[in-house]
Each structure stands twice: as structure tokens, then as C-alpha cells.
Structure 1
Amino acid sequence: MKKQLAILALAIAAATPALAAPETYTIDGTHTFPRFSYSHFGYSTQLSRFNTTTGKVVFDAAARTATVDIVIDTKSVDTGYATFNEHIQGEDFFNTAKYPTATFKSTKVIFQGDKPASIEGQLTIKGVTKPVTLTVTDFKAAPHPMLKKNAIGANAWTVIKRSEFNAGKYAPNVGDEVRIDVAIEAIAQ
């Protein structure tokens, strides 16, 4: 009887598909650029970005789970104009001398089928932390054709009020609502 149970257990184990383990991906700083846009006195929508972003993503395709941890170097802000870069790093906006980074840490990733559809998390800017939800518009998980490692990529966006992060100078003339778009690529460790 013990032999039959052992054979049955072995047969069940062999028939059960192997589950993929969570895989850790490191943010590719050469292809990850958070951007932000806002209304400038209603004349135009200004577009800027951050040039330095680090972090990691833990992704488990089989379990449909993920975590996202991003650190943005606020001193790397790029408005396209050096004088304005300095201005926006000042106390009225990012105050990079005191708060050199902004962070996003996921609390929940919601999947539709095999792909993330939204990422809930905590955004911290100037020492103020608020919940935000990133809407994922594109997602891909596949081996990177050049690096020959697993890679993931996504585009996601959210809208915040900068006044809620103690950066509301000149609002409402300079728009309080800021759209944040994140283009992210990450490579398996």
C-alpha cells in the first residue's frame, strides 16, 4: 500500500506544472524616463523629464503578481533650459537640496489577464507621501534580443496636484494638475 501511495504521489507531482518563481528586474536607466507635463498660464503644455531613475521590479507572470520600487533623482530634472532646471530645483518646487529624490513604491498591482493594468502605490515628493494609481497602457515581458536576458517594459501614467506635495507656487496660473508619464524598461538580474 505504501508503494502505491508513493507512486501516486510521484505521478501527481509529475503531472503538476512547475510554477515560475518571482524574478527581480533592475531598472534600465538608459531607457527609463519619468516625464511630467502641466499647463503654463494656459498658453501651452510644458513637458519635462528626469534623466536619472533607479529601482527594481519583482514580477511573477505565473502568479500574476508584481512589486515596483522606483527612485527618481530630482536633481536630474530636464526642462530643456538650464536656468529653469535650477529654478525648478529650488525650494518652491522640488527643493532638491533637501529632497534629492522622489520615490514610488507599489502597494498593489492589478492584472487583466497576463498583464498589469494598474499599479497602486505611494508617491513621495518633497517628503510628502500620497497614494496614486498608475494606469498601465502598454506592457511587455520577453527575452531582450540584444542582452539575451529576460526583460520587461511598460508605459504608465497618473495625474497629481503639485500643491498636495508642497510644490504649488504660482498655481492656478501655472497648472496645479501635473500628468506624470513613466516609460520603464527593466532587465532581469
Structure 2
Amino acid sequence: MKKILSLAAIALFMQTAVFAQSTWKADKAHSHVKFTITHLAVSDVDGTFKDFDATIVAAKPDFSDAKFTFSANTASVSTDNDNRDGHLKSADFFDVAKYPTITFVSTNVAAAGTNKYKVTGNLTLHGVTKPVTLDVVYRGTITHPMTKGLDAGFKITGTIKRSDFAFGSKYGSPMLSDEVELNASGEFLKQ
């Protein structure tokens, strides 16, 4: 019995040691950051950011104490349409010359079910910072078969309003929906 308890204590110690204030970086080859907006109330247009960084710092193995940070280069926006992308980069929308970066820094993580969290933080877009809450699903942690390092997966969704950020204000909701859906998914490698 003592031997079983000793082995359990060692396993718990090792698991705790692995997660003691660990930093995790997005594996960009296996991650994406997407948004969807409705055009003319009849069709959806999807876009992505090709250049982004995301980091998670957590001490608990279930990431319930995680701090999420994210940044995206606004000039990397892509909707697979050169004309539209050029317009999105202009002063009408992202104004990439003036606001080259979008950032998110979490301020609170609240449990919302098994491996599900409500993550609240400050989103800075178009020079405006507002609190937003995102839905985060922790998909688990594995040992990466090639690198042999730890790899954790997350899915992040949410909705923001353009009007909260004075974004694309020349284009009202008959042209473009005020609500923009966010959808990110990725693998994070323990550093």
C-alpha cells in the first residue's frame, strides 16, 4: 500500500512539475485565426490573419488559471480577394498604417463545463480597447509524436461588435453586419 501511495505521490509531483508556471506558444503551422462577417445580410465573408502570435501561461494542468495573450499584424489580413484585402487595410477599416496590431490580453478565466472556459480580456482593435469574453475549449495535452514535447490544443470562439471599436463605421449593418464572429483553433507547444 505504501508503495502504491509513493508511486501516486511521485506521479502527482511530476505532473505538477511539468505544469509549474509553464509557457506555451502557438504552433502557427497547426493554428489559425479566422473571422466571419455578413455582407448585404445574405452571405458570409471569411477572413484570416496570416501573421499572428499567441501565448498561454499556466500553472495548472487543466489551464484553469491560464493567461492568454494574442497579437495579429493587421497588414496580414486575407480574405482571398486582393481588392477586398486592400480595402480592409485602408483607413476605412483596419487602417494598418496607423493601427498595425490587434491585441488580446486575458484578465479572467471562469469554468463553463468540463474543459470549457469563459475567458475575459481586453481586446485592442483600431485603437480602441474594450473587454470581451470568448468561449475556450481545452482539447487536451499530448506528447507530440515527432518533437516528443508537450502539445496542448484549444478552440476559441466569440462575437464582437464592429461599432464597439469604431471599425468600418462608414459601412452600416445593411452593408456589413455589426457582429463579427471569431474562430481560432490551434496547437500550443510547451516551451
TM-score normalized with structure 1 length: 0.85
1:161 counterpart residue number = 161
In 2, the alpha carbon distance for the partners of 1:15 and 1:43 equals 58
Secondary structure of the corresponding residue to residue 160 of structure 1:
strand
Q: What letter corresponds to residue 165 of structure 2 in structure 1? A: F
Cα separation, partners in 2 of 1:114 and 1:147, compared to 1, 3 Å: farther
Cα separation, partners in 2 of 1:46 and 1:84, compared to 1, 3 Å: same
In 2, the alpha carbon distance for the partners of 1:77 and 1:149 equals 31
2:42 counterpart residue number = 43
How far has the Cα of 1:139 moved from its partner? 2.2
In 2, the alpha carbon distance for the partners of 1:175 and 1:86 equals 20
Q: Percent identity, please.
A: 35
For structure 2, the residue ranges without an aligned partner over 5 or more in a row are 1-7
In 1, the alpha carbon distance for the partners of 2:75 and 2:140 equals 30
In 2, the alpha carbon distance for the partners of 1:117 and 1:15 equals 28
1:9 counterpart residue number = none
How far has the Cα of 1:131 moved from its partner? 0.7
How far has the Cα of 1:61 moved from its partner? 2.8
1:23 counterpart residue number = 22
How far has the Cα of 1:182 moved from its partner? 1.2
- Tell me if structure 2 keeps the 8 A contact 1:26–1:186: yes
In 1, the alpha carbon distance for the partners of 2:37 and 2:9 equals 55
1:120 counterpart residue number = 120
Q: How many residues align?
A: 176
Q: What letter corresponds to residue 183 of structure 1 in structure 2? A: S
- Tell me if structure 2 keeps the 8 A contact 1:25–1:186: yes
Cα separation, partners in 2 of 1:175 and 1:113, compared to 1, 3 Å: closer
Alpha-carbon RMSD = 2.1
TM-score normalized with structure 2 length: 0.84
1:56 counterpart residue number = 55
Q: What letter corresponds to residue 70 of structure 1 in structure 2? A: F
2:184 counterpart residue number = 182
Larger gyration radius, structure 1 or structure 2: 1
In 2, the alpha carbon distance for the partners of 1:30 and 1:62 equals 24
